[in-house]
Amino acid sequence: MITKEQVIEKLKDVADPELHLDIWTLEIIYDIQINEDSTIYIKMTFTTPFCPYGPALVKEIETKVGSIEGAKDVQVEVVFDPPWKPSDELLDMMAMGIQ
């Protein structure tokens, strides 16, 4: 059985090319669901609706999460409600240049 932790570890390998932080740390992943048939659903947003790297990020997520042993399918839903708003902790990390 695939675990949420396995999915999160793969998401940590996907970096935003502009902010140079992984998408899990960036808090753009809103939900992860794993069905009994090992289909993985991910709900996410982009840092901006006009993100030029959006399609590439989705493809990389599908590839990396899909590489989990036993994964049947990965479906990524991109939403903009609620819009991304970095937490104060994340803003502090970004200001200090922590990656």
Domain extent listing, the chain: 4-92
Class of domain 4-92: alpha beta
Percent of the chain with pLDDT over 70: 98
- As a whole number of angstroms, the longest Cα–Cα distance in the chain is 42
DSSP state of 15: B
Residue 9 clears pLDDT 60, i.e. is over it? yes
Q: pLDDT tens digit string along 11-54?
A: 999 999 988 899 999 999 999 999 999 999 999 999 999 989 99
Question: Three-state DSSP class for 56?
Answer: helix
In this prediction, residue 98 carries a pLDDT of 65
pLDDT at 99: 56
pLDDT at residue 97, rounded to an integer: 74
